[in-house]
A and B are shown apart, each in its own frame.
Chain A
Amino acid sequence: MVLSKAVSESSSDLSVHSTFASRYVRASLPRYRMPENSIPKEAAYQIINDELMLDGNPRLNLASFVTTWMEPECDKLIMAAINKNYVDMDEYPVTTELQNRCVNMIAHLFNAPLGESETAVGVGTVGSSEAIMLAGLAFKRRWQNKRKAEGKPFDKPNIVTGANVQVCWEKFARYFEVELREVKLRDGYYVMDPEQAVEMVDENTICVAAILGSTLNGEFEDVKLLNDLLDAKNAQTGWETPIHVDAASGGFIAPFLYPELEWDFRLPWVKSINVSGHKYGLVYAGIGWCIWRNKEDLPDELIFHINYLGADQPTFTLNFSKGSSQVIAQYYQLIRHGFEGYRNIMENCHENAMVLKEGLERTGRFDIVSKDHGVPLVAFSLKDRSRHDEFEISDMLRRFGWIVPAYTMPPDAEHVTVLRVVIREEFSRTLAERLVLDIEKVMCQLDALTSKLPPPPLLPTTAMLARKKSELETQRSVTEAWKKFVLAKKTNGVC
């Protein structure tokens, strides 16, 4: 290797000196251009490691559904597979087989109607975004083929969803040229209303997308009601509009906590489902799954056939080369925990969510916006927003180390702001109790502070108008600007 060459040619300031005194940490590293010279690996490690200390702590990031802890045995498997390029199916047949097993296990979990010897139709992806794009592509192509066969125009496809959809649906719509028809929310009803959704369906609708586990408040949409209403409409119109269930969060919760809830392939119009392996699938960021009901729901022309080991391996993904670690980690979790393990973990999460919710209710300062039933999270808003708002609470909690995001609801409920805490596997009961304590501290501190919000407006007199802007008015305009700025936030950030 050439590394030794690089080091000995540069000055005698070798890594034998203490790293922190070395020239590389004193000299400023170029930010926007590649440096000319190499530096020792220890220095490179130290520099990057030190900067990264200023990132948030992933485990205290209560904004995210995405897994932030796995068992050390799994970490070991992950590191051992870090240099395996997943797409090299010829070279890594076992890893490919593990993906196929995961697809089948998840398909059965979702009650896909498969015969004993039939293999499931599905694929591992980098996340639910890719999964949703693939599912959407399949619907679009199926619909186009059907319209062509009928001799009808197929240039204006649309998709019906709730306004609470995660941003990847907007991406899908924009990138694949499909119109997004959003069912607006309303105060107190923060998911897609199945009746309004079915009204919006027309002959150009490629599918209706329901969410199992809304990002904002964790609620499960009523997929069964949607199915029944759509069934009636399809019988009338003959349009055969299908359903896709975005079970990014809910897919690994409902089968364990609510097994009688019919939301999956038990409903005949559900043709594909996506789930994030990296949410309640309990794997680190970087893995999702998309399952189709059966072969007919995935047009063959979208599938690329790769010949490996003499057998046909059909693939349908947007990404090609990617790491194998997360697929192996998903398989680890599925066999390590099994059905009982996942159920225990979800029950535990649910209990901790209740502990947090009750703690918050006891303070008497908050309204709980999330339901008890659904994804284990607690979304809450202030009962009294006249002096302080949720964004301030979020800011102050950061000082304790907690990252708790505050969001405004999508249209038509933009006046509602919530704080949201997601309960993941490793958010224990002690942490829940500590969080409640810290929120109480924050409330005390805020109470003691003067209000940053403007008092009721006074009628201006000529004298007042002539004066320069008072301090209060300056504060007011700053707050207004900040509020507008934050309301313009295009996305709720995490998925």
Chain B
Amino acid sequence: MVVSVAATGPGTDAEPVRSTFFASRYVRDELPRYRMPERSIPREAAYQIINDELMLDGNPRLNLASFVTTWMEPECDKLIMDSINKNYVDMDEYPVTTELQNRCVNMIAHLFNAPIQEDETAIGVGTVGSSEAIMLAGLAFKRKWQNKRKEQGKPCDKPNIVTGANVQVCWEKFARYFEVELKEVKLSEGYYVMDPEKAIEMVDENTICVAAILGSTLTGEFEDVKKLNDLLVEKNKETGWDVPIHVDAASGGFIAPFLYPELEWDFRLPLVKSINVSGHKYGLVYAGVGWVIWRSKEDLPEELIFHINYLGTDQPTFTLNFSKGSSQIIAQYYQLIRLGFEGYKSIMENCMENTSILREGLAATDRFEIVSKNSGVPLVAFSLKDSSAFTVFDISENLRRFGWIVPAYTMPPNAEHVAVLRVVVREDFSRSLAERLVSDIVKVLHELDARAAHAVKVASVAVAQSDDGVVAGKSVMEIQREIATRWRKAVDKKKTGPC
């Protein structure tokens, strides 16, 4: 290796790494930010410099904004590190890893009640996340629809997709990058998911599919896929358009089968042709793995599949990414066999219990409206009953000082006046953490109350003083209100939050 050459070569400083790092020249000198440095530095210094800067990142486990898994068992961490240098796409070289992906696909397909026979293999693929999964599913729908229209001799240049306005940003990306029109069903206050009836009304002959969400990002609600299916069956019968359904079960796909097994949302409904789920959300794996499953071979046009020959057999692949790490796939397989059905069920039940604790604690303060439902993804979304003195954005900021990252959002159209705080309950968010969060929120409320009371005092003094002035200045209250409104407007433009 050339490393030793760099460290001892002529001209390089002989500052040995025996000295303590923090006194070494490499930490005293400024490291170039936007150009590669000319010289090498010792590996320990590189490690230390980066490690130190990263201390200022948020703590992933206190990041209550995200659904994405932030803790796995040490045994799994070991498997992950062991396979960190395996390029997943080298199927020839790593046949076992490829086999593990196939097993995961089949396990998840069965979990979703895909109508496959005993000896049939499931149609599906591992992806880097639900974004890639959704793009693949959307591509399949688009191509199927185009082929159908070409056969019928009809124009196929204006495909559209019908979803709720509560969709995650990756649907907007899909629409923009693959040139499909996005028809969004607007929300309304109190109803924060896609209304199946309104969705059906928007369906036309150019609709490639209707996308339902199992586990809305904003409130964790499950959309009524069964009702959508039934209404769509009717419409298809009338019109003969054959419009299918895709279920974006990014969060819900690993919750519903364990907590709500009688809920019909998956392939039990005949019009559901593909489903995506994030392995890295309630699949309990670190960021970087998602799954998309198709109902049957017919739902995935052959022309989109690339056939790679490995070990003498055909391995069909359909992904946007090519080279990528193998670790997350192996980790997903670990979780599936380690926990099994009973383990996942226990974990989801635990999450729901902790969610109730949090929800009850917040309700008990009597300052919040709970916007999320009791069933669905384990999260609590809540808004302030009274936003005149301060807003949920203030609470979010102040909670950061305690270490918690709790995001505040405004709802999409037409409910933009509603702003919520949202806490996602993951596997590693224990009961004690839930209780601690409630007490910290209470502390924050007290601080903000005190500040607001002080501001009113100052404002009344200011107003009194300007009584004899010509123009009454803005009271502090009004200024605060203006700032809050401006801030809300700025955040309204926020295109996305975490997924």
Question: Interface on A for B, CB 8 Å cutoff?
Answer: 1-3, 5-6, 29, 31-39, 41-42, 44-45, 47-49, 51-52, 54-56, 58-59, 61, 63-64, 66-71, 73-88, 90-95, 98, 101, 104-105, 108-109, 119-120, 126-130, 133, 137, 155, 167-168, 170-171, 174-176, 276, 278, 284-286, 301-302, 304-307, 310, 318-324, 326, 328, 331-332, 334-342, 344-345, 347-348, 403, 405, 425-426, 428, 485-486, 488-491, 493-495
Contact, CB under 8 Å: A33 / B65? no
Closest residue of chain B to A126, judged by CB? B321
Task: Tell whether, in the assembled complex, residue B78 and residue A73 are in contact, meaning their CB atoms are under 8 Å apart.
Answer: no
Across the interface, name the chain A residue whose C-beta is closest to B498: A88
Q: Give B184-199 as 1s and 0s: 1 = Cβ < 8 Å from A's Cβ atoms.
A: 0000000000000000
Number of interchain pairs (Cβ within 8 Å): 395
Shortest CB–CB separation between residue A485 and chain B, in angstroms?
7
Please state if A56 and B94 are interface contacts (CB–CB under 8 Å): yes
Closest 8 CB pairs of A and B: A44-B338, A73-B47, A45-B75, A341-B40, A336-B46, A38-B343, A104-B34, A2-B346
Residues of B near A80 (CB, < 8 A) are 51, 54
Known: A54-B96, A332-B46, A493-B90. A32 touches B103 (CB 8 A): yes
Q: Smallest CB-CB separation from A331: which chain B residue?
A: B50
Q: How far is the CA of A79 from the CA of B86 in the complex (A)?
A: 15
B103–A31 touching, CB < 8 Å: yes
- Tell whether, in the assembled complex, residue B129 and residue A321 are in contact, meaning their CB atoms are under 8 Å apart: yes
Say whether, besides A67-B85, A94-B56, A306 and B38 are in contact (CB < 8 Å). no
Do B86 and A55 have beta carbons less than 8 Å apart?
yes
Task: Report if B499 contacts A (CB, 8 A).
Answer: yes
Given A85-B66, A176-B178, A335-B46, A105 and B35 contact (CB-CB distance below 8 Å) = yes
Closest residue of chain A to B86 (Cβ to Cβ) is A58
In the assembled complex, the Cα of A348 lies from the Cα of B169 at a distance in Å of 45
A337 x B308 contact (CB < 8 A): no
Given contacts A129-B322, A320-B170, whether A34 and B340 have CB atoms under 8 Å apart is yes
Question: Complex formed: what's the CA distance from A307 to B169 in Å?
Answer: 13
CB pair B96 A52 closer than 8 Å: yes
Contact partners of B278 in chain A: CB under 8 A: 321
Asked whether A94 and B54 contact (CB < 8 A) given A45-B75, A486-B309, the answer is: yes
Contact with A along B31-47 (1 / 0, CB 8 A): 11111111111011011
Q: By the criterion CB–CB under 8 Å, are A320 and B494 in contact?
A: no
A326 / chain B contacts, CB cutoff of 8 Å: 325
Contacting pair A85 B341 (CB below 8 A): no
Residues of chain B from 302 to 324 with CB closer than 8 A to chain A in the complex: 303-304, 306-310, 312, 320-324
How many residues in B have their beta carbons less than 8 Å from beta carbons of A? 134
Q: Is the CB of B77 within 8 A of A41?
A: no
A45-B79, A307-B493, A340-B40 given as contacts; is B110 within 8 A of A77 (CB)? Answer: no
Known: A44-B338, A304-B172. A278 touches B323 (CB 8 A): yes
Interface residue stretch chosen among B220-228, B269-277, B280-288, B468-476: B280-288
Instruction: Determine if A171 and B320 form an interchain contact, defined as CB atoms under 8 angstroms apart.
Output: yes
CB atoms of A36 and B93 under 8 A apart:
no
A304 and B169 form a contact (CB under 8 A): yes
**Within residues 115 to 167 of chain B, which ones have a CB less than 8 A from any CB in chain A?**
121-122, 128-132, 135, 139, 157
Q: How far is the CA of A67 from the CA of B85 in the complex (A)?
A: 7
Indicate which residue in B32, B339, B350 contacts A38 across the interface (CB closer than 8 Å): B339
Assess the A39–B309 pair: CB atoms within 8 A. no
Contact surface of B with A, Cβ cutoff 8 Å: 1-3, 5-6, 31-41, 43-44, 46-47, 49-51, 53-54, 56-58, 60-61, 63, 65-66, 68-73, 75-97, 100, 103, 106-107, 110-111, 121-122, 128-132, 135, 139, 157, 169-170, 172-173, 176-178, 278, 280, 286-288, 303-304, 306-310, 312, 320-326, 328, 330, 333-334, 336-344, 346-347, 349-350, 405, 407, 427, 430, 490-491, 493-496, 498-499
- Chain A residues in 8 Å Cβ range of B86: 55, 58, 285
Q: A485–B311 Cα gap in the complex (Å)?
A: 11
Complex Cα–Cα for A347 and B1 (A): 11
Q: Are B337 and A340 in contact (CB under 8 A)?
A: no
Task: Output the least CB separation between B442 and chain A (Å).
Answer: 23
A73 & B43 in contact (Cβ 8 Å cutoff): yes
Output the residue of B129, B330, B343, B496 with the most chain A CB within 10 A: B343
Residues in A whose Cβ lies below 8 Å from that of B66: 85, 88, 91
A17→B334 CA distance, assembly (Å): 21
Contact residues in A for B286 (Cβ distance below 8 Å): 82-83, 323
Of the candidates B35, B50, B61, B342, the one having the most CB atoms from chain A within 10 angstroms of its own CB is B50
What is the chain A residue whose CB lies nearest that of B6? A341
Q: Using known A-B contacts A167-B322, A340-B40, determine if residue A45 contacts B103 with beta carbons closer than 8 Å.
A: no
A129: chain B residues within 8 A (beta carbon): 320-323
